[in-house]
Amino acid sequence: MPPHPTLYVRRSVIERFGAYDSAYRIAGDYDAMLRWIGAGEIKLGYVPRVLVKMRHGGVSTHLGAGLLTKAREDYRALRANQAGGAGTLLAKNLRKLGQFAPLLRNPGH
């Protein structure tokens, strides 16, 4: 799954497969990317350069209720787009554990 700040799609993709679903409070980007990429009808390209640097923070990386809401929404998006289930969600989150290491060291940040 590409990071959402560096995914650029043509307007025609959004017109054909839909935009973000506002029913998702946190995982609307994840749902949209699953829908767009999962259709298997768009060409993807990879640019081997850092285009965006993000800091830790925000609702989806805050340990607590935001993280739980994100997990629920991710699971709902996976199921809605027939992209997997609990195992996929577990694998997705295990791959991201390294991102949370700084938060565990400094929980107030």
Q: What angle do CA 22, 69, 25 make, to 5 degrees?
A: 15
**Helix 28-38 to helix 65-80 angle, to the nearest 10 degrees?**
20
Q: What's the confidence (pLDDT) of residue 16?
A: 95
- Tell me: the pLDDT tens digits for 12-37? 999 999 999 999 998 999 999 999 99
The answer to whether the beta carbons of residues 95 and 51 sit under 8 Å apart is no
- Tell me: the pLDDT tens digits for 66-106? 778 888 999 999 999 999 999 998 988 788 777 666 666 66
Q: What's the confidence (pLDDT) of residue 14?
A: 94
